[in-house]
Structure 1
Amino acid sequence: MNDVDLVRDLRSEVRQSDPDTLYAARGRLLAAMTSPSPARRPRRMTRRMTRRMTLRLAGAGAVGLTLALGITVVQSFDGADIPAATASAPAWVPVAGVEHLAERATAASARTTDTYPRADQWLYTKSRIYVPGKEGTQEAGETQTHERWQRGDGAKMAIRHTSADADKGAPPVGPVTAGPVENSTGQRWAPAYLSSLPLDPAALKERLRQNGADRPDLPAARTLFQQVQQILQDGAPPPRLRAALYTVVSELEGVGLEENVRDLADREGVGIYLDSPDGTRHEIIVDPETYAYLGGRRLALGDGERTSQAAGGEVMAAWVQEARGIVDRAGDLP
């Protein structure tokens, strides 16, 4: 018997009382409370009755636990084998750590299909970037809006920059040619490249390691972290690849999670961070409910001292991803 039939069977054995019956029962209960009567000896339950009740209570408890924990049970009604259940915690349950966040993102994306632009289509992303003023000067920081169109085959790209302080409008959109994705470090976030990446975290991690071999000056963990950060920001990967990237980051040594982090657009999220020996922190900000990528920050923690409280660090740079979509032509908006 499956859980649904069990609940239906339990409910069917409870007689649905009409209002008159409930009113009469309430009167008898009040009368019994005011006039004492000799206690009745409880009925002895047979072994069969005890076993039946135990099984029903256990089944009802399993259904309740399933609903409370957000476990999705895939049930086969045609007599075929029942697949293993997949579990994902509800969004209101706090994220316990980076691995927990990656697991929840993976479960949430399990039934989706990643969509990429065709070779003749374009991936549109809109970002806002804060660049501070030069150190040691009175120059104020500047926030810029960057719009990018990347053709699906990775051969062309169009960019439009808009300064928040500029009086004039944005320059016209113009496609620029780019080299092949495989031979261009700067294009390792292009749709053609991202669609070729494996979704298995172990294979994905190895692929990213191979692509980061041209940065021997940086520790392996930092190289991988920065690769993932750039792919999330500039490539805007779909949910399944995004969850796999979170998993890769969660396995890096020294990675941590900071709650109640606000991005450049003042949206609240959780920060996946990695500290460097030079006293800087690189941070990926994720929505804890939808697991969407929000943006990132680079912080100066001060005197090379590592701390778990990023709120006290000085923001050296910040960026957010405001829009993503697939369009037919460069310059179009989703």
Structure 2
Amino acid sequence: MADVTRAERAFVTAMRASAPRPRSHRPLIFAAGLATAAAAVAVAVMMTSAPTPTPRVAGGSLPAAGSSAPPAVKIRPVSVAELLDLAAAAPGAINPGPGQFVVTESLMSDMAELGEGGRFLYAMKVTTWVASDNSKPGVSRTEQLEPRPYPGQPLPADLPKAGSVDVRVLCPVKGDVTRRDYAYYGTLPADAQGMLKVFARFPGGGADKNHYLWKAGIELAAAPMPAAQHAAVFQALKLIPGATLVGDAQDTAGRTGTAVGRVGPDGWRRDLIFDPVTFAFLGSRTVNESGAQVGGTAQLSVTVADTAPAAQPGPKQEGC
């Protein structure tokens, strides 16, 4: 079936923006009512019969096995602005209560060097429990995964062993500048211009100011925050010049999504990757000047819990 027109895309975008936001986080499917409403006005959308991703809900429970899902409404963005508008309207905001923990599970990969000529990509799985209101200690759990070759180079010898796990206490943060909890994020501006000023407060600088604004936006795109502030992050990214629509891209977990990116002064492109159906944020990646992926993240889940696991301060860490 032919791609939808700009007017039809605008209709679907508006429908998504007006749909209720569930408490569970990414990835999520849209309600069948969206498809019904689109059909009622004869919007020509592309349909897929494949099942949509299984949603994660607060507390970690999953839908019953074998449950059927309605066909997913799928459109293909044609511009950076359209993709970021869809991301801003995506469902999945969480709403933790006071004293609860925001639990974020992610994969991370980046370039590392082990002696001269020992370049490789390290990988790890990181799970954090952060008190939603910064009121009590949380926990960080890091598991080392199998390292990966740097594109075009063999793996060096004597690499860190996969499987090691490090669990540390996360103390409440003193001072708003370095806070990263849900309550603090809720104090940030809910408009694009105001959020862009928040980007400018992130560390960094140099000749290409927009490069650092883009990197700050990528970091905040992964942050657990109320729906209004989360939407403002993507609307603020629209204001940074130089971004391009990348198209299909894989995150660190191997999930294929739709990406938008910007090339920095080093010639490397930093991408944000979104679910191709819901347009919820999946992760980010760094692509070098040769087009090879040399780092990235994959946000696997963001949920809410009443408690965090036990942990001890690290060897050089003072108690909270």
Unmatched 5+ stretches in structure 1: 1-62, 71-89, 302-311
1:322 aligns with: 300
Distance 2:295 2:249 in 1: 15
1:264 aligns with: 252
Aligned pairs (5 A) from 1:275-294:
275-294=263-282
Question: Offset of 1:255 from its aligned partner?
Answer: 1.0
Distance 1:148 1:154 in 2: 13
2:185 is equivalent to residue 203 of structure 1: no
Structure with the bigger percentage of helix = 1
Aligned pairs (5 A) from 1:1-334:
66-68=41-43, 91-109=73-91, 114-134=93-113, 136-138=116-118, 140-155=120-135, 156-165=137-146, 166=161, 170-171=165-166, 173-184=167-178, 187=179, 189-209=180-200, 211-212=201-202, 215-217=204-206, 219-233=208-222, 235-237=223-225, 239-301=227-289, 312-331=290-309
Distance change (3 Å), C-alpha of 1:105 and 1:67: farther
Distance change (3 Å), C-alpha of 1:327 and 1:137: same
Q: Deviations over 1:252-298 (max 9, x none)?
A: 11011101111111111122211112211111111131111111112
User: Which one-letter code corresponds to 2:204 in the other structure?
Assistant: R
Distance change (3 Å), C-alpha of 1:115 and 1:294: closer
Distance 1:106 1:139 in 2: 37
User: Which one-letter code corresponds to 1:285 in the other structure?
Assistant: I
User: Which one-letter code corresponds to 1:129 in the other structure?
Assistant: M
**TM-score (normalizing by structure 2):** 0.63
The size of the alignment, in residue pairs, is: 231
Question: Offset of 1:154 from its aligned partner?
Answer: 2.6
Q: What is the percent sequence identity of the aligned residues?
A: 19
Q: Deviations over 1:159-209 (max 9, x none)?
A: 1110124465634x442314335132xx3x321221112322233223433
Distance 1:168 1:103 in 2: 40
State the Cα RMSD in Å. 2.8
Distance change (3 Å), C-alpha of 1:232 and 1:133: same
**TM-score (normalizing by structure 1):** 0.61
User: Which one-letter code corresponds to 2:259 in the other structure?
Assistant: G
Question: Offset of 1:95 from its aligned partner?
Answer: 0.5
Question: Offset of 1:215 from its aligned partner?
Answer: 3.5
Say which one has the larger Rg.
1
User: Which one-letter code corresponds to 1:326 in the other structure?
Assistant: V
Unmatched 5+ stretches in structure 2: 1-37, 46-71, 147-160, 311-320
Higher relative contact order (CA 8 A, sep 6+): 2
2:158 aligns with: none
Distance change (3 Å), C-alpha of 1:325 and 1:181: farther
Distance change (3 Å), C-alpha of 1:218 and 1:197: farther
Distance change (3 Å), C-alpha of 1:330 and 1:181: farther
Question: Offset of 1:69 from its aligned partner?
Answer: 6.2
- The 8 Å contact of residues 131 and 142 in structure 1, kept in 2 or not, is answered as yes
Q: 2:234 aligns to what SS in structure 1? A: helix
